[in-house]
Amino acid sequence: MSDNPTLVISVNGEERRLPGPISLIDMLGGLGLDPRKVAVERNLEIVPRSTLDEVRVENGDAYEIVHFVGGG
Amino acid sequence: MNALQSLSSDTWTVAGRTFTSRLIVGTGKYKSLEENAAAVEASGAEIVTVAVRRVNISDPSQPMLTDFIDPKKITYLPNTAGCFTADDAIRTLRLAREAGGWNLVKLEVLGEAKTLYPDMRETLKATEVLVKEGFEPMVYCVDDPIAAKQLEEAGAVAIMPLGAPIGSGLGIQNRVTIRLIVEGAGVPVLVDAGVGTASDAAQAMELGCDGVLMNTAIAEAKEPVLMARAMKAAVEAGRLAYLAGRMQRRRYADPSSPLAGLI
């Protein structure tokens, strides 16, 4: 079990549970999101798109995932 | 080259990017993304403002703005609408830069929900930080020539005073201050907010503004695509009138037909 810990994280203010270990890019894929169309903030720090496959999701992480919508 | 021929080269430049259209349109409040795209097309705009918001993780398959308005053809100008502090605005634009990969952004820091009037203390603070981080902020501001100067000194690449409160459609309330801002600015000046109909946009351009930014005036028209076309014409007409130089105002009449030779 210790190889597959359940990670409890926050995504856009909602609590999510997912099996670890997992990279950020795989988490986005699991959420059905195209990494080219979103930006990710992890614990208040921007995650550069080029490093999405390197960053590992850690228990307790808080994510904001945003994209462009209509606005004035 | 005569004056009319020179019009084809009547462009404006912000932060090193040159544009022909002087109309920037928002992408909010439309009934559908299709209507939004059709209005952008009719407006001739080369820049659209967009907001940065959380993705809907419960339904990631929802249609996206980028599927309808191609960011390769139209410059996306990410905004900070809804931000009431410098910190929130900066955080939003850092995310926007990562989502889009460019530095040209629209900064607005609001002071209160009722008027959506800009908080200039926070706006100036955010401008300074953003410029240090390499952003090129076009800044929404009060129609105050002194505040405009301060923003320019802080590194704003364009000054965007309100004509009237956001979404009010009241038209340009203070032509004097808009003109003073235009006269004093070394960067482009665009009226941002307050335009209600075509004549308001023409008036902004007649005052010498480099452009006009609007959203609600088009999106909430009964026929948004038609109004978008009207705004394109109005901005062009106002620009031409400004370049042509209007006649002097007289207090009384001056006949257009010769007095000599009257029977």
pLDDT of residue B178: 97
Tell whether the model's pLDDT for residue B183 goes beyond 90. yes
Q: Encoding tokens for residue B117?
A: 């009037």
Which residue in B12, B46, B22 sits closest to B234, CA to CA?
B22
Q: Report, as an integer, the average pLDDT of B3-18.
A: 84
Q: Report the C-alpha gap between A38 and B4 in whole angstroms.
A: 45
A and B: number of Cβ contacts within 8 A? 104
**Which residue in chain A has the smallest CA separation from B64?**
A69
Closest-CA distance, A68 to chain B, in angstroms, reads 5
Predicted pLDDT of residue B62: 82
- Helical segments of B24-132, H only: 33-43, 65-68, 86-100, 120-132
Six token digits for residue B142? 């009060």
The confidence score (pLDDT) of residue A72 equals 85
B58 pLDDT higher than 90: no
Enumerate residue ranges in chain A where pLDDT < 50: 1
Per-residue pLDDT tens over the stretch B23-34: 999 999 999 999
Q: Cβ separation of B78 and A65 shorter than 8 Å?
A: no
Instruction: Report the residue from A66, A71, A72 with minimal CB separation from B99.
Output: A66
Angle at B147 between CA B92 and CA B206, to 5 degrees: 100
- pLDDT value, residue B100: 84
Question: Which residues in chain B touch residue A40, judged by CB atoms under 8 angstroms apart?
Answer: 98
pLDDT at A3: 64
Tell me which chain B residues have a C-beta less than 8 angstroms from the C-beta of A30: none
Q: What is the pLDDT of residues B184-240, one digit of tens each?
A: 999 999 999 999 999 999 999 999 999 999 999 999 999 999 999 999 999 999 999
Instruction: Say if B91 is an interface residue toward chain A (CB within 8 Å).
Output: yes
Task: Determine whether B222 is an active site residue.
Answer: no
- Residue B74 scores a pLDDT above 90: yes
- Measured between alpha carbons, how far apart are the two ends of chain B, in Å? 43
Give the mean pLDDT of chain B: 94
Of B31, B72, B106, B149, catalytic? B106
Burial of residue A39 (CB within 10 Å: 0-12, 13-18, 19+) is: buried
Q: Which pLDDT does position A2 carry in this prediction?
A: 55
B7 to chain A, closest Cα gap in Å? 29
Question: Per residue in B102-160, pLDDT tens?
Answer: 899 999 999 999 999 999 999 999 999 999 999 999 999 999 999 999 999 999 999 99
Strand partners for A45: A42
